[in-house]
Structure 1
Amino acid sequence: MGRPGLHCRAAQAVAHREEAAVRCGIVRACPFVRRLCTTQSPSPSSIVSTPASRRRAPDIRAWSGSPSLNSSLVSTSGTARPAAANQDTRLRVAVDVDEVLGRFVYALNLFCKDRYGMEYKVGDYWIYEFAKIWGCSQERSNQIVHEFFESQHFTGGIPVIPGALETLTRLSESDYELVVVTSRQHVIQDVTLDWLDRHYSGLFQEVYFGNHFALEGKSRKKSDICKNIGARVLIDDNPSYALECAAAGINVLLYDWEGAYPWSKLPASGVHNSELIRVVRDWGEVEQQLATLAPALRHPTLAPGDS
């Protein structure tokens, strides 16, 4: 989910295939190897092949443009593959993190109550500009959220969305390739990857950080990320991303959990390519809609729903 007005939540700019000729990886203390592709291609001598006995698949490749992450480059396969080289029939689906995989606002509200006595519910967030919800300045809002990032409420307290793990497991075992496309910024990249390891281990092939609303560094639109990596569907709770991606010809499942996300509503009119946006209210509906969309996306001559 994007955080309009929240200038502390996106990563260094994602490096796309036009910016990097190969994938590379950074080994971290995690349950399996994650790859991190930087803006510059490493020299062949800087790529080290990981022994087969140390590999765990699938691995997460976390992409950012941070020049500080150019060391400890590892290729788990010893070969490079373009960012969107999807040669088989598997349909690449991009999945957002906050409010789609995990309950960010729920955990944030617990932190705000414990630290500052602020009483808010998810239903109070009619817009994702926390300063407007909390009645404070943008600077104060940023400070509170940074404190949240350092707290146990964030590092270990964000619960998962019910049904997500089960549905994603079935999809990953079928003809789908799952990647994460999030607007989160680099300051919380490691925590994000650790959280995905704990709750969705082995399900996502790649993690892309968009660097939206960051204090420094470039950002990339989710529509650009999805197009560059070959993602045909985005699952996201943010209507602005839904509109942006639909205008770019990308199918969107707009996630409005149980219809209870006040911010996750489409405008009544003026939606370009509105037929590409489908509202889903739980992960069961996500699975159903993907089953309807998949045949036509894999075989463009078919209409949605045909097989």
Structure 2
Amino acid sequence: MSRPVIALDADGVLLDYHRAYAAAWQRAFGAHPEERDPQAYWPMDRWKVPKLRLWRRSRFRREFGEHFWSTVPALPGALQACHRLREAGYHLVCVSALEKRFEGARLHNLRALEFPIERVIATGHHEAARSPKADAVEAIGAEVFVDDFLPYFRGVASHIHTALILRAPNGSPNTGPEMELASSTHQDLPAFTEHWLSR
């Protein structure tokens, strides 16, 4: 019998996009940004950075290429949580709202960090009535889908357990009537793993 599948988002679930964002800022402008709000959901709110215009915005965007998506650090406890899930008999697949051209970079990143994940599906990003991740999650036969962005649960089949990672609350989109789309909520991936394996 094949292993049951858990679909895992990357940024905010497995990987620390906030730290990678700050490192990209330092590469672009020569100084690491000061932290403004450690509980901010979005990196522009967490770090004390100005709104960019014209050439500075273009300069910063150039940092978000192969190197960036290959070197995002792991979130605390995420690697160990994944190994626990794998040892419990689950097959782990990363489903990321990343541009398709960076799919290989993301897989390289996860392998370099020794995550037990051998496949990445990049879906791209758009907000609509149906999440761009819904088709991918269903196509791989996932039993569980773990994400930190509530709108990505739109359209996911009701038989799939949707586990929402709440993480930083300030400015979070994870509020309101759509919270009913989440089958369960957890502070981070280790908390989800403990919950799921102790059922």
* Smaller-chain TM-score bracket: 0.7 to 0.9
Q: Distance in 2 between matches of 1:150 and 1:120?
A: 25
Cα 1:192/1:142, change in 2 over 3 Å: farther
Larger radius of gyration, structure 1 or 2? 1
Any idea what SS the aligned residue of 2:91 has? strand
Amino acid in the other structure paired with 1:271: E
Residue number in structure 2 paired with 1:111: 24
1:165 maps to 79
Give the unaligned 5+ runs of structure 2. Answer: none
Q: How does 1:212-251 map to 2 (within 5 A)?
A: 212=125, 221-242=132-153, 244-245=154-155, 248-249=157-158, 250-251=160-161
1:107-256 correspondence runs (5 A):
107-116=20-29, 117=31, 119=33, 121=35, 123=38, 125-127=40-42, 134-136=50-52, 141=57, 144-149=60-65, 154=68, 157-201=71-115, 203-212=116-125, 221-242=132-153, 244-245=154-155, 248-249=157-158, 250-256=160-166
SS at match of 2:138: helix
Q: Once the 2 structures are TM-superposed, how far is the Cα of residue 205 of structure 1 from its aligned partner?
A: 4.0
Q: Deviations over 1:240-295 (max 9, x none)?
A: 113x155x3232222233xx253545223x22744x43221133311123236xxx
Q: Cα RMSD between the aligned structures?
A: 3.2
1:212: how far off? 2.2
User: Conserved in 1, the CA contact under 8 Å of 2:66 and 2:102?
Assistant: no
Contact 2:70 2:106 in 1 (8 A): no
**Are the structure 2 counterparts of residues 125 and 285 from structure 1 closer, same or farther at C-alpha, using a change threshold of 3 Å?**
closer
The 8 Å contact of residues 98 and 124 in structure 2, kept in 1 or not, is answered as yes
Q: What is the CA distance between 1:179 and its match in structure 2? A: 0.7
Relative to structure 1, the CA distance from residue 106 to residue 171 in structure 2 (aligned partners, 3 Å threshold; closer, same or farther) is: same
Aligned match of 1:284: 190
Q: How far does residue 103 in structure 1 lie from its aligned partner after superposition?
A: 1.0
1:192, CA displacement in angstroms?
A: 1.3
Match of 1:34 in 2: none
Q: Secondary structure at the match of 2:74?
A: coil
State, as a whole percentage, how many aligned pairs show the same letter: 23
TM-score (norm. length: structure 2): 0.76
Q: 1:124 to 1:173 in 2, by over 3 A?
A: closer
Q: Residue 271 of structure 1: which of 162, 178, 184 is its match?
A: 178
CA distance in 2, matches of 1:272, 1:104: 23
Number of positions where the alignment pairs a residue of Structure 1 with one of Structure 2: 189
CA pair 264-251 structure 1, distance change in 2 beyond 3 A: farther
Return the TM-score normalized by structure 1: 0.52
Q: 1:163 offset after TM fit, Å? A: 1.2
Unaligned runs of 5+ in 1: 1-86, 214-219, 293-304
Q: Per-residue CA shift, 1:149-198, capped at 9, x if unaligned?
A: 265xx266422111111121121122211111011113322321211111
